[in-house]
Structure 1
């Protein structure tokens, strides 16, 4: 496994995948662990993931790349696995209670009052975004992007290539997988696999703003 620094410098947005190379079941289980264990504000976990690991599943996701986003079709079809990242549209009372009860089952609350306090704290932040800032859906989606960032780095540590894509028809994905009836909506797609020798982007040096530009001493 790579060090964090090695992974940061090795990974990039893969433009061409080797369609003949597949991620092992063991490695993809680790990717699923990353998806499940990612941090989120107040542990609200407002995500769901559509996973394609065969040609039929990838073809369904590729429907979202037709038309204006046709340039992303090969990145879906040639990848080993493809994941649609979905966000909850609303964190309704039923969902909030489900999160709380799962935490209780997992032993997070040594005292009953701790459970009550956690629910009140999570509801406080949700109410701020629902009623004051009025960006509940955006706040929930931001948690999904935290998840995406974690899995991009984690995959790099495993030597697995990725490309995150917002260049897809999100409405088409919602329709194809009936996401909205389940309380979710697609926000992006990430393809996983191994880079092709023909990928020009693998040969281009990485470029980032300098430390002097981005770091400010407090």
Structure 2
């Protein structure tokens, strides 16, 4: 957790977390507003895939040739998805399952076998960490003292930004994690942001409930807003 928090602080210092969060919020709101399950037969899968792809393309477009970001030590590269590089770490974006909204289970909702790049990143962290043989039933998210672990974890350089979003409220949340090939899929996870509903924030249905599946604190953060072009009437 100390290693992860030091990475988070470094990314906050160069304003990369704020940049990613703004991109997540704006991409999600735009796709949420154009989501058409009845007219276009959209579903949760199409919404998630389109939003994830839009986010990757947006980050790539804004970061690849921006000299101000390069001066801050931030740049982007392409695998099958966008990878951000800053503060000596490689950062990949992961969307939480749509069904989980902003309440993913970090104990069971993530499987790095879904893509080769994520699996390779988790394997690199596991190989670098590996301070002791795996102990069945031992939860890697809990504080357990291993000989040499504090030094070994400094070699973990692959981190994932996980983001979740709610269709009804439009609110988003983000976490930073060190992925690993263990029973839970993580060495450690910490919160990055948690949107709070505001009087000007449109919601459908009930207000979001506190995250009762996590011990992470929620801090109110200003929510960026965007302007959308009006939809033209059919036939125009």
Same fold by TM-score, threshold 0.5 exceeded?
A: no
Q: So what's the TM-score if we normalise by structure 2?
A: 0.22
Bigger fraction of residues in helix: 1
TM-score under structure 1 length normalisation: 0.23
